[in-house]
Amino acid sequence: MKSYEPVHPKYKEYTEYKISLNRFMHELGFVIDVIRPGYTSGYLVFHPKHAQQNGWLHGGITAAILDMVEGFAAYSLVPEGQQVFTVDARVAYYNPGIADKFYARGWVDKPGKRFHFCEGELYYLDNAGNEVIVAKGTSTMAIK
């Protein structure tokens, strides 16, 4: 994960503002609590409403959360007033999502003027405290 210089001084407030408007994220219960230039991370406390047919975390929620941590990572690295749109995104499902709490992080892997290429991971912690990656995301985010 690379670290970047802030693109403008209020990158954090700007990203927080965009997050505050994201109604579905709040509906889901996903919380972003870390914002750095080109990086965001957060967590979801699992509730049965998040389940697919086996009672595990729904892959669609995994995709949605990766879209958010990657998209807001991109937002934290654009000039004020510019917007970010997902052009396309891939999610690879590494392990079933069976846990009480999930974590996710997204980052800009390659910044650009027209696009940011982003990546992300959703994971949980096993009993030994090791990260178990549930899914890995890669996406192309357009800036305009």
Q: How far is the CB of 26 from a second copy (least distance, A)?
A: 9
Q: How far is the CB of 87 from a second copy (least distance, A)?
A: 6
The distance of closest approach from Cβ of residue 23 to a second copy in the complex, given in angstroms and rounded to an integer, is: 4
By the criterion CB under 8 A, which residues form the site for a second copy?
18-19, 21-25, 27, 48-54, 58-61, 63-65, 67-68, 71, 83, 85-95, 109-110, 114-115, 117, 133, 136, 138, 140, 142, 144
| Nearest residue (CB) to a second copy, 34 versus 90 | 90
Alpha carbon of 48 to those of 25, 53, 100, 126, 131: distances in Å? 17, 11, 10, 20, 22
Rounded least distance, CB 132 to a second copy, Å: 10
- CB nearer a second copy, residue 22 or residue 82: 22
**Closest distance to a second copy from the beta carbon of 12 (Å):** 16
Q: Yes or no: say if 100 and 87 are a contact pair by the CB < 8 Å rule.
A: no
Contact 125, 68 (CB under 8 A): no
Question: Please, which residue, 36 or 68, has the CB nearer to a second copy?
Answer: 68
Contact 71, 65 (CB under 8 A): no
Tell me the three state secondary structure of residue 63.
helix
Look up residue 77 and give its DSSP letter.
T
Q: Report the relative pairing of strands 39-45 and 31-36 from DSSP bridges.
A: antiparallel
Q: Which is nearer to a second copy, 21 or 127 (CB)?
A: 21
